[in-house]
Structure 1
Amino acid sequence: MSKAIESGLAKAISTVLKPLVRVLIRNEVSVAAFEELARQAYVDVAYRHFAIPKRKTTYSRVAVLTGLSRKEVVRLAKLREQPEPPVKSNPNRAVRVINGWLQDAEFLDGHRKPRILPLQGEVGSFAALVARYSGDITLGAVLDELERLGIVARPDKLSVSLLSMGYIPADDELEKVRIMSLCTADLLATAVHNLDHRDEDARFQRQISFHNISDEVASEFKQLTNDRSTELLQELNQFLSSRKTLSTESGVANNRVGLGIYYIENEFHTEENDDA
């Protein structure tokens, strides 16, 4: 590795880690605990992505790849073989209701967009939607939660409209962390893929950002990105959901595909050393 690559990679790692370290410190995850996770990740990646075809990956090879001692590799490899303890998570019924509203033809208009639903009725109503997708949770409980989070609106007392296609429970920190990990891992996986492949095989990865933007313009831009991004994601969601059955019927369907969009906003300032 050249000095330039080594220096650039070190800077990139530091940049990527800093937002994550904020989460770790806030949740009292120590450097020692993080180091153990990093060691486990090194060993896991060495086994998964750097194996020589038709040859068994030995402890010694993993030690060479990772810089860990052979003894340490043996310890971590044994941990890797142990099943991870399951994380208790109850499927959120509100998520099912929203997904049903976005995908079920009964609740879509002629352009496959979510209709404004009458509150009551046996077919095509919010009551029918909740009954189909929420299990035994009552209409009132689902409606109150979605209204509280600004996911739905009430144009009048007899109808309900969908305002947002996304749902993250406000008080579910574990779910927020899970979503953060999935989104970050997907973005990094795309970036790493593009490092390893030529333009014709690259995955879509684009970004715009401007400095010296006023608070007023930043607020307008945030609203614009929310509106346009929601429209695009809703269109793509409907595209895939309408073709999922065709994919299954046509044969093997092992691909996970999607598109992630994120909003950028931060203040630039000169950092001061508290000890200075």
Structure 2
Amino acid sequence: MTQTSPDTPSGDTVADAEALHFIQAALGALARAAISYGITHQTFASMSKHAFFDEARQYAPLKGKPNSDSRIAVLTGLSRRDVRQLREAGPPEPPKPSLNWRISQQWSSLPQFLDENGKRKPLPRTRHAGGEVSWDALVESLSQEVRPRTVLDEWLRLQLAVLDDQDRVVSTDENSHLKRRGDETLTLRIAAQMVNEALRIAQRSPQVSYQQPVRGLLSCDYGHRMTHTSAQQVYLAATHQIMPILDDLNRMIVEFETLDAGKADANYRVFLGVIYRYLEMGNEPMLMLDDSQPA
């Protein structure tokens, strides 16, 4: 019989420590994003409290019954008073896409803003120079509350666009309406949705038939113990091969959204996305364990 020393953590303890490490890294990323958006700790804490309550309401219900306030309090550590207040308050309003996101999506999907290769056209800065196919027209079609020049200054600061010698706004990112240069927080909402969907899909049966459409699929490729050059080559290959596909799909989505607007059964959504990056091992926890380490 194998003896275990008091200093040797149990399997559950190891798993808990790894989970805490992963959650701590995720919280660090969220904190950076919150600071970038000007979200205070008080607001962040309130959002976290509501998230705990919302998830605990549906978490492992006993005998098929909704979780009571007492059980939610046990699961989350919230007081019963807090649980009652959260229940009475109802769900928070869903976040709305930012203006920059909507501008980027329109510029990369509407035909009048695309060239013959499906790439973003350089846009004359003013309506006087470009009419309805101009930067001013694009911004004003989405918001009347901010000046197009103010938005442009922010895009120039973030290096999302440059002005050429003809006073045209030129996108510096021709591959995707999802990517942000110099500001990682724009994709936070998308990443959060992707993580949520991935977790839901991963909990389902792995038996999938590709002959019939299914509600959700999760497919991941994960590589480790590669040199920087090799990891970079995989990353660049993903960029060149995947982003044109997402751009085509985005244009299809915009087309169907237009065709289906106002239809009684237009209550379905499609969520497609890709997360890819390469980094030095050990800098942050991964979704998969290093298989070279002892179990």
Structure-1-length-normalised TM-score: 0.66
Which residue of the partner structure matches residue 103 of structure 2? 97
* Partner Cα distance (2:53, 2:149) in 1: 50
Gap change, CA 1:135 and 1:217, over 3 Å in 2 = farther
Of 105, 109, 114, the match for 1:108: 114
Matches within 5 A, 1:126-137: 126-135=135-144, 137=146
Q: 1:237 and 2:246 equivalent?
A: no
How many residues were matched structurally?
254
Of 20, 24, 44, the match for 1:14: 20
Asked if the contact 1:191–1:205 (Cα under 8 Å) also holds between the matched residues in 2, the reply is no
* Partner Cα distance (1:73, 1:185) in 2: 28
Higher normalized helix content (fraction of residues): 1
* Partner Cα distance (1:150, 1:11) in 2: 40
* Partner Cα distance (1:123, 1:129) in 2: 8
Matches within 5 A, 1:83-232: 83=89, 92-110=98-116, 112-119=118-125, 120-135=129-144, 137-164=146-173, 165-166=177-178, 176=185, 179-180=187-188, 183-184=191-192, 186-200=194-208, 203-214=217-228, 225-232=238-245
* Partner Cα distance (1:37, 1:137) in 2: 28
Q: CA deviation at 1:170?
A: 6.1
Gap change, CA 1:25 and 1:233, over 3 Å in 2 = closer
* Aligned residues with identical type, % of pairs: 18
* Partner Cα distance (2:120, 2:205) in 1: 39
After superposition, give the CA deviation of every residue in 1:233-265 in whole Å (9 maximum; x if it has no partner). 322322211111344436141435231323131
Q: Secondary structure at the match of 1:95?
A: helix
Gap change, CA 1:218 and 1:114, over 3 Å in 2 = same
Asked if the contact 2:124–2:134 (Cα under 8 Å) also holds between the matched residues in 1, the reply is yes
Gap change, CA 1:127 and 1:60, over 3 Å in 2 = closer
Q: CA deviation at 1:206?
A: 0.9
Gap change, CA 1:210 and 1:244, over 3 Å in 2 = same
Q: Secondary structure at the match of 2:89?
A: coil
Q: CA deviation at 1:192?
A: 4.0
- Code of the residue aligned with 2:162 in structure 1: it is A
Which gives a bigger RCO, structure 1 or 2 (Cα 8 Å, sep 6+)?
A: 2
Asked if the contact 2:179–2:187 (Cα under 8 Å) also holds between the matched residues in 1, the reply is no
After superposition, give the CA deviation of every residue in 1:184-224 in whole Å (9 maximum; x if it has no partner). 4532441342233233166123123232413x555565555
* Partner Cα distance (2:66, 2:241) in 1: 50
Structure-2-length-normalised TM-score: 0.63
Asked if the contact 1:106–1:124 (Cα under 8 Å) also holds between the matched residues in 2, the reply is yes
Q: Secondary structure at the match of 1:133?
A: coil
- Code of the residue aligned with 2:120 in structure 1: it is P
For the aligned residue pairs, the C-alpha RMSD in angstroms reads 4.5
Matches within 5 A, 1:44-55: 44-51=54-61, 55=65
